[in-house]
Chains A and B, each alone.
Chain A
Amino acid sequence: MQQKNTSHIILKFLVVFVLMVASFFLLRNNASWYQEPIGEVTSVKQLSSQTLQDQYGNKIKQHDERVRVKILNTEKKDQSISFKNTYDDAMAITQPLHRHDQVFLSKSESSWGLKNFKRDTFWVPILILVIGVLLITTGKAGMMMTISLFVNVTFFIFTIYLNLITKDANIFWLFILFSLIASAVTLMFVMGAKNRLTWTVLLTVMTSTTIAMLIGVLVFNVTNGKGLHFELMSFITQLPQPMFLSMTLVGVLGAVMDEATDMIATLFSVEREHPNIGLKELLVTGRHVGQEIFGALSNTLFLIFIAEQIPMAVLYLRNGNNWGFTYTMNLSLGMIQTLISAIGIVLTVPAGIFWVWILHKRQQKKAGIQS
């Protein structure tokens, strides 16, 4: 039995591995699917190197190379072109090219240049790996998780699209709508639509996120936004405050659902065992479950929000900026996002207990009328 199981799992991993390799080869050979010109590097010749030095003590080498590229698609197919590629050892924006690299090419007037690397070849196999491992370890439940992931991403893309066609009417309202639909759909996928748990968790999620966002906005107003630099957000093309609030709302949603599900599931099982449970017992149990989770969840979001700022923060420090300035420019908004999220995570405990209590009361009343 044990043996059969093991060989089963090995077989499944083998299938995932074969799919990964297959997708990799497909994406290496699908240049004809793209309208943008794609080329493969056939040779690279080092031309020269020079040392770059700045006033902050950074000293690195910059290299020039001559690259020959064979075009793989469009009407220029099979033509060979060449251009100069310049890169430095820090590789912040520039990169060296290697033989067999596939790249998107740009054409200006008569000369060709490097536009971008073809990267789908590399992340799609990893996507297959992750979904494969998810399905192998959790089976049918993993299937539901995968579908729910894709549905949520689709909603997300659609919301971004709505923001564009409504001419930025107000991105925050759009994402409030997104949050409502996404959390309802996610919870239904995890627990089913007819489950009392689903709706109690949804009410809790709505309550705690709403209050957390209100606290956030209130604090912005009371303090006149002191220490709040929306203008420092990256990739901003519209009013930054609604954008920041949207990011905070979306970010905290998953964590609050996570916590509310754990806590309310426990409360329900306690309620089943003791149908005449009082508010006091609910409070004790709810607090007990909540306490164990909220620190870890706040840390989880903190790391997701802050980690991606590390390269930029290091760049600032290496450019002779002091720590205070580096913090303000790169980490302050992430910290504020973390704090508002943590407030939402903590508030989930009383919000959950409140809704379980209200629904419990209602049920008792109903039962009372019937008897």
Chain B
Amino acid sequence: MSVLMMLSVILFVLMLAIGGIKGIGAFISLWISFAIMVVMIVLISFQFNAFWVLLIGGASLLTVTVLSASADERTTAIALIASLIVMFILLAVILPTEQITIAQGFSEENSEDLEGLSLAINIDFGTLGIVAALLATLGAIAEASVAIATGIGELLNSKPSLKNKDLIDVGQVLGKQIIGTAVNTVLFGFLADFLSLAVLFNKLKYSFVEVINSKLFTSSMLSLLYALLGVIITLPITIGIFLLYQKHQKVDYNREEL
């Protein structure tokens, strides 16, 4: 049995034992994400328009991650809308930044990996850089928006008379905690990605100036910053969508009364 197979079996058993049916859902969602990622890579390499692949694939990845929490209908709807909006805002930040920082593609540090490969391919690496940077942020965004929507929803269930203003206040308090921990998920995830590169920079005795201007450091740094930004703006946007949803519900409710 291969390492991958055996680890998958162990993960499946643990998720089933600890999460029951929902645990199986989590296990399946991981593999669906993997499948979406594979399809995206293949489509892009077949020269489908990378931006459409990114938008559709990104929205699918958000949906899978939000659904993997198997929350109630309201939470799922709010989290999904909020995380889609955050995705578009981030795209608006990433597009110009990636254009001007010219940190796409590879660098001389990659030369060992690139041996024997033809770099002159029909696909622009600037676009690939944008795809990679945006996708890396999506999981964290979906996770944070589900957590915030769940938290506010539970509060509202226990105190249905909560006024909008109070809802914003408690939502803020609760959201700060969620963001505080989500920020760490993102930070350590990216530090892990950066670890081997950091060791290499150190071995090659790069100066501070060389490190902070190098292509690979800049692209890692920017990816981390995009993901942090995504997680942070998820809080106000999820609260905003929640309020809109409430308002909508009340209108519907009133109509039914009439």
Instruction: Show the binding face of A for B, using Cβ within 8 Å.
Output: 34-36, 52, 54, 56-60, 62, 88-93, 95, 104, 116-120, 122-123, 126-127, 129-130, 133-134, 137-139, 141-142, 144-145, 148-149, 152-153, 156-157, 160-161, 163-164, 171, 175, 182, 186, 190, 215-216, 219-220, 222-223, 225-228, 233-238, 243, 246-255, 257-258, 261-262, 265, 287, 290-319, 323, 326-327, 332, 335-340, 342-343, 346-347, 349-350
Please report the C-alpha to C-alpha distance between residue A338 and residue B218 in the assembled complex, in whole angstroms: 24
Q: Identify 17 residue pairs between A and B in the complex whose beta-carbon atoms are under 8 Å apart, listed by A's number.
A: A58-B118, A58-B122, A92-B119, A92-B125, A117-B102, A119-B101, A161-B202, A175-B195, A190-B177, A219-B6, A236-B196, A250-B188, A250-B195, A296-B142, A307-B131, A308-B223, A339-B4
- B233 close to A317 (CB less than 8 A): no
Q: For B71, what are the chain A residues with a Cβ–Cβ distance below 8 Å?
A: 292
Q: A235-B197, A292-B69 are in contact. Are A336 and B3 (CB under 8 A)?
A: yes
Q: Given A120-B213, A250-B195, A300-B140, does the pair A332, B180 have CB atoms closer than 8 Å?
A: no
Given contacts A134-B232, A287-B18, A160 and B199 within 8 Å (CB-CB): yes
In the complex, A147→B78 CA distance in Å? 31
Q: Which residues of chain A have C-beta atoms less than 8 A from B119's C-beta?
A: 88, 90, 92-93, 315
Report which of B10, B183, B228 forms a contact with A215, defined as CB distance below 8 A: B10
Please give, as numbers and ranges, the residues of chain A lying within 8 Å of B228 by CB-CB distance.
130, 134
B123 touches A90 (CB 8 A): yes
Cβ < 8 Å to A, chain B residues 122-168? 122-126, 128-129, 131-133, 135-140, 142-143, 146-147, 150
A251 touches B189 (CB 8 A): yes
Q: Which 8 A-B pairs have the closest CB atoms?
A: A295-B26, A295-B68, A251-B192, A254-B188, A300-B139, A227-B2, A317-B45, A307-B136
B25, B139, B146, B213: the one contacting A304 at CB < 8 Å is: B139
Q: Chain B 178-213 against A: per-residue CB contact (8 Å), 1 yes, 0 no?
A: 111111111111111101111110110001011011
Q: B247 at the A/B interface (Cβ < 8 Å)?
A: no
Asked if B189 and A299 make an inter-chain contact with CB atoms under 8 angstroms apart, the answer reads no
With known contacts A116-B214, A304-B139, A216–B7 Cβ distance under 8 A: yes
Q: Which residue of A lies closest to B235 (CB)?
A: A137
A21 to B147, CA, bound (A): 34
B246 within 8 A of A: no
> Is there an interface contact between A299 and B143, defined as CB atoms closer than 8 Å?
yes
B120 touches A88 (CB 8 A): yes
CA distance A128 to B27 in the complex (A): 38
The chain A residue with its CB closest to the CB of B97 is: A126
* Interface contact B106-A299, CB-CB below 8 Å: no
Within the complex, which residue of A59, A236, A308, A319 is in contact with B136, where a contact is CB–CB below 8 Å? A308
**Most chain A CB neighbours (cut-off 10 Å) among B114, B117, B118, B179:** B118
Question: Does B1 belong to the interface (CB within 8 Å)?
Answer: yes
Contact A306 B37 (CB under 8 A): yes
User: Who on chain A is nearest to B21 by CB?
Assistant: A291
| CA of A342 to CA of B14, assembled, Å | 10
A152 vs B125: C-alpha distance when bound (angstroms): 32
Determine if B92 is an interface residue (Cβ-Cβ < 8 Å): no
User: A90-B124, A262-B181, A317-B41 given as contacts; is B68 within 8 A of A296 (CB)?
Assistant: yes
Instruction: Name which residue of chain B comes closest to A35, CB basis.
Output: B209
Closest B residue to A148 by CB, please name it.
B184
Picked from B27, B30, B221, B222, the residue with its CB within 8 Å of the CB of A338 is B30
Apart from A91-B124, A310-B135: 6 A-B pairs, beta carbons within 8 A:
A56-B118, A118-B213, A145-B180, A234-B113, A237-B203, A296-B146
What residue of chain B has the Cβ atom nearest to residue A300's Cβ?
B139
Contact A137 B233 (CB under 8 A): yes
Q: How far is the CA of A253 from the CA of B195 in the complex (A)?
A: 14
Q: Taking the complex as formed, is B77 at the interface, i.e. its CB lies under 8 A from any CB of chain A?
A: no
Chain A residues near B45 (CB-CB < 8 A): 313-314, 317-318
CB distance from B58 to the nearest CB of A (A): 10
- Quote the shortest CB–CB distance from A355 to chain B (angstroms): 15
Contacts of A315 in B (CB 8 A): 117, 119, 121
Which B residues lie within 8 Å of A326 (CB)?
Answer: 41
Report which residue of A252, A258, A299, A343 has the largest number of chain B beta carbons within 10 angstroms of its beta carbon. Answer: A299
Chain B: minimal CB distance from A117 (Å): 6
CB contacts (< 8 Å) of A222 on chain B: these are 6
Chain B residues near A225 (CB-CB < 8 A): 3
Q: Does B227 contact A (CB under 8 A)?
A: yes
Beyond A251-B193, A311-B129, whether A220 also contacts B236 by CB under 8 A is no
Q: List the B residue with the shortest CB-CB distance to A51.
A: B120
Which chain B positions have C-beta within 8 A of A91?
104-105, 124-126
